[in-house]
């Protein structure tokens, strides 16, 4: 099975964009399977920088790209992102981009609700991207969602809209917000429907056809395993399953289609938004990592929190996503440190853990147990072979492999796609 599923193995922002772009050149289809425009994937192609939130990265190179049913779609954002990319010279047509007809829509009141809740939560806020992701998934699971296929049946939407607006008007009343203006909503939906519908397809069929013809499918995960609604640091998570298994349910290809699972892992750890982060460094070292790694969110511009590499968390991600191999990114950010620390376990009181306990309070109390490893002073930036890496950098990588129980498939040493050390070709398996 020559498919590849790419997922983030930390809290997102591991550098998936570059790796997906690099792999998409050899893929026949690229598929998003969860999340929405909360994601931020930066692709550097030659002189050009492309910032994608919702569209699969393959679109930049003209590869057939599909948005699976597991994604929540803001149709107005979709239109804007298509326009922005077209402005950068990327051709986007129903021939190279498909949206699953069963995708639930993110509507304007989902975005409002996301913001209202965050503003009302004080210190307990999740730190969401305020893009309506959570409320849209809630309506999907509550069987109230308006989906892409409904855009072709707007005249029949009445009873569905009754249920949806009754639910949201009650919530809005709690925030002293006016009820939803149904006429305005219908007008907005009618306006956007003609733009969206040409892209709406039975994506599950497209992917199954591709599979039966032996085509290579690349599944592009968003966020990271520790933001997974089931396996992440709940409740400080996103509202979708971000693990590799979702490539199946979020597209309709079936579990045998995931192929090689490539976990993207940053050589240190970052997190944006609230929630536990055992190896966080709120000192000069954390600041140095943030500055060297340009750690600002692609979507919200927020400063990312930074800390040492947490092997316990990545080992857990490798297990829950069934990762075959990892891509280690941003190794060059660690250049020039005298010593580096790797978290190998936690202490909560006098109890030791070799995994992250489930309860948020335990997670907040988890004290990292560190192993210290000598750093390196030569640069790793731009290295394209093992021979170009300092011996200590290789030791660091080997120790990570041992601790997480998973081999390194490739190492990325700069945002440039050529600055990559390939150990094993994921598509060759």
Residues that bind ligand IMP (CB under 6 A): 12-13, 38-40, 126-129, 131, 133-134, 222-223, 227, 236, 238-239, 272-273
What is the closest distance, in whole angstroms, from the C-beta atom of residue 239 to ligand IMP in the complex? 6
Which residues contact residue 237 at a Cβ distance below 8 angstroms, ignoring those fewer than 6 apart?
Answer: 126, 226, 227, 228, 229, 275
What sign results for the dihedral spanned by CA atoms 135, 138, 144, 149? positive
| CB-nearer residue toward ligand IMP: 104 or 273 | 273
Distance set, CA 290 to CA 175, 358, 383 (Å): 37, 28, 21
CA angle 344, 348, 353 (to 5 degrees): 40
What is the closest distance, in whole angstroms, from the C-beta atom of residue 254 to ligand IMP in the complex? 26
Q: What is the DSSP string of 258-316?
A: --EEEEEEESSEEE-SSS--TTB--SHHHHHHHHHTT-B-TTT-PBPEEE-EEHHHHHH
Asked if 13 is an active-site residue, the reply is: yes
What is the closest distance, in whole angstroms, from the C-beta atom of residue 303 to ligand IMP in the complex? 12
Q: Helices 108-120 & 158-174, crossing angle to 10 degrees? A: 20
What is the closest distance, in whole angstroms, from the C-beta atom of residue 94 to ligand IMP in the complex? 27
What is the closest distance, in whole angstroms, from the C-beta atom of residue 364 to ligand IMP in the complex? 15
- By beta-carbon distance, which residue lies closest to ligand IMP? 273
| CB-nearer residue toward ligand IMP: 179 or 235 | 235
Q: What is the DSSP string of 361-425?
A: HHHHHPEEEEEEEE---S--TT--SGGGS-HHHHHHHHHHHHHHT--EEEEE-SSSTT-EEESS-
Catalytic position from the list 13, 74, 139, 332 = 13
| CB-nearer residue toward ligand IMP: 40 or 68 | 40
Nearest to 225 by CA among 310, 291, 308: 310
| CB-nearer residue toward ligand IMP: 108 or 127 | 127
| CB-nearer residue toward ligand IMP: 108 or 254 | 108
| CB-nearer residue toward ligand IMP: 239 or 380 | 239
Asked if 77 is an active-site residue, the reply is: no
Catalytic position from the list 21, 37, 41, 110 = 41
What is the closest distance, in whole angstroms, from the C-beta atom of residue 39 to ligand IMP in the complex? 4
- Strand-pair partners of 41: 52
Which residues contact residue 354 at a Cβ distance below 8 angstroms, ignoring those fewer than 6 apart?
Answer: 312, 345
Active site residues: 13, 41
């Amino acid at each position: 099975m020559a498919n590849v599923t790419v997922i983030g193995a930390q809290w997102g922002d591991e550098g998936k964009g570059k790796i997906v772009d690099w792999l998409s050149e050899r893929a026949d289809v690229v598929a998003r399977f969860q999340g929405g425009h909360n994601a931020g994937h930066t692709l550097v192609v030659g002189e050009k920088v492309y910032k994608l939130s919702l569209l699969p990265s393959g679109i930049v190179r003209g590869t057939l790209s599909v948005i699976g049913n597991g994604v929540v779609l803001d149709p107005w954002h979709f239109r804007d992102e298509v326009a922005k990319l077209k402005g950068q010279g990327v051709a986007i047509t129903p021939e190279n981009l498909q949206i699953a007809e069963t995708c639930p829509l993110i509507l304007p009141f989902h975005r409002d609700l996301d913001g209202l809740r965050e503003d009302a939560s004080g210190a307990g806020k999740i730190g969401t991207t305020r893009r309506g992701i959570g409320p849209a998934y809630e309506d999907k699971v509550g069987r109230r969602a308006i989906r892409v296929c409904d855009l072709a049946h707007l005249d029949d939407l009445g009873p569905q809209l009754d249920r949806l607006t009754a639910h949201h008007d009650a919530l809005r009343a709690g925030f002293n917000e006016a009820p939803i203006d149904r006429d305005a909503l219908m007008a907005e939906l009618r306006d956007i429907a003609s733009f969206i519908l040409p892209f709406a397809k039975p994506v599950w069929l497209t992917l199954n056809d591709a599979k039966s013809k032996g085509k290579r499918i690349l599944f592009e995960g968003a966020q990271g395993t520790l933001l997974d609604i089931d396996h992440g640091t709940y409740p400080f998570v996103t509202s979708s399953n971000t693990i590799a298994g979702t490539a199946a349910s979020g597209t309709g290809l079936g579990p045998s289609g995931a192929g090689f699972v490539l976990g993207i892992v940053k050589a240190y750890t970052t997190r944006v938004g609230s929630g536990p982060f055992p190896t966080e460094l709120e000192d000069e070292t954390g600041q140095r990592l943030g500055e060297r790694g340009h750690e600002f969110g692609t979507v919200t511009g927020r400063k990312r929190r930074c800390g040492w590499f947490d092997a316990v968390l990545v080992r857990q991600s490798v297990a829950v996503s069934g990762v075959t191999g990892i891509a280690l990114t941003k190794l060059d950010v660690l250049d020039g440190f005298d010593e580096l620390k790797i978290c190998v376990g936690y202490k909560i009181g006098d109890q030791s853990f070799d995994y992250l306990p489930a309860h948020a309070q335990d997670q907040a109390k988890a004290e990292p147990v560190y192993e210290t490893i000598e750093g390196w002073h030569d640069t790793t930036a731009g290295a394209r072979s093992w021979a170009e890496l300092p011996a200590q950098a290789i030791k660091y990588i080997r120790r990570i492999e041992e601790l997480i129980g998973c081999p390194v498939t490739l190492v990325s040493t700069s945002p440039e796609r050529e600055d990559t050390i390939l150990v094993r070709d994921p598509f060759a398996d």
